[in-house]
Structure 1
Amino acid sequence: MAIYALSDLHLSFNKPVSLYGVDPAADIEKPMDVFGWDRHYDRIRDHWLATVQPEDTVLIPGDISWAMKLDEARHDFDWIRQLPGKKIMSPGNHCYYAQSKKKVRQALPEGMEWIDADYTMAEGRAIAATRGWNLPGDRFYKQKEDRKIYERQVGRLRIALEAAHREHPEAEKIVMLHFPPLTRHATESGFMDLMKEYGVPLCVYGHMHGNAADEAIQGVVDGIELKLVACDALDFCPVRLR
């Protein structure tokens, strides 16, 4: 049994589809070809099938579907369901359908979990998640628009880690964020402070693509391994974490 991660799938199927035989003209609502992601769902499928076993777990921290409404996202969830392994998902900035955690959980097929400001257990490890947000000091951060959201997201990660530590104090913790916990311009954050406080050894995140991914902070920082797991940064292949 192993734990893998892959984020930012950016799926947009407009009807139920199988893993094979997707017709981009008829089945895709928002093609990713404009970003150079030609038939990226086929690349995800092929790498996933070659890498992940049914007994494994895959973490998917955000931007799973372009859907605006939950009924539309079901098509993307069903496509992911056909891939092997247990899936643990958390929200990203484009997950507009995820207004209600309860409703998302009710919509998920068997073998898929949704966590947000809470945690779940996988392979004996506590997986805690929240979306994250733009960080103070980052070039995209705007004090007036972002401060409250940032502070709220830090608080949501504390809720998740507190619960995980209280209920499974000896378990290794892995944090899933969509936004990075550090950037070249924001060299500290409340997310990092919390992970240090709770002894988190690993944090996976997505959100950064193209040239931005080249500037991603990765490797061990203050005892925490940071890993960018956005699809295009990993050549659309789930990466093994544990």
Structure 2
Amino acid sequence: MSQVATVRTLWIGLKSERPLKRVSSYVGSSSKRMLDLTLALSLLIIFSPLILIIALAIKSTSPGPIFFRQKRYGARQLPFMILKFRSMHHTKLVEHDVKQATQGDPRVTPIGHFLRKTSLDELPQLFNVVLGEMSIIGPRPHAVCHDDHYIRRIPQYARRFCVRPGITGLAQVCGARGETRTEGDMQRRIDLDIQYIENGSLLLDMKILVATAHEVCFSANAY
């Protein structure tokens, strides 16, 4: 773990030992859902001009749809279609062979590089939150083929499906954002996801939101 990630973890107040086998009552509560709905609707209103500008920019600079849609697993491993602004050149998706984006990836369009670097490609997921498929904060949903791969290799991986997946999460603000080059990278992400599932609270959510704003502005792991 990098020094910066260590500082963030200490600031958020997590314990370093292996997590207990429980789920925080807050993570699945109606109060968290109301917070999600309020934040998502407010942000959609605030960012509606920006959403329109991005949509026009994507449509005018590369052929293909404005939105990228892909099946992911949510709470109770129920499938849903995640929404993102399309940041790559349009090709037919092969669901069982989804390659993670890498630094300098030639599939990424010029406007897509900017969207990914600033995380603006994630804005449409606010609609997923309104529909109840996602939360503002929770474990980031992976491509189905990655779930199928790692669920057999990483203990407790399936516990991520106890809660709604999130637009951002504890792993993303503690240095586990972006490409997972090794199984150890994924293991660390899962450990942080489980810590959130077991220790989630309103205060922790507020801290993650603040840390997310910092991560969006200064992260080198988004490409």
What TM-score does the superposition give when structure 2 sets the normalisation length? 0.27
Higher relative contact order (CA 8 A, sep 6+): 2
Structure with greater proportional strand content: 1
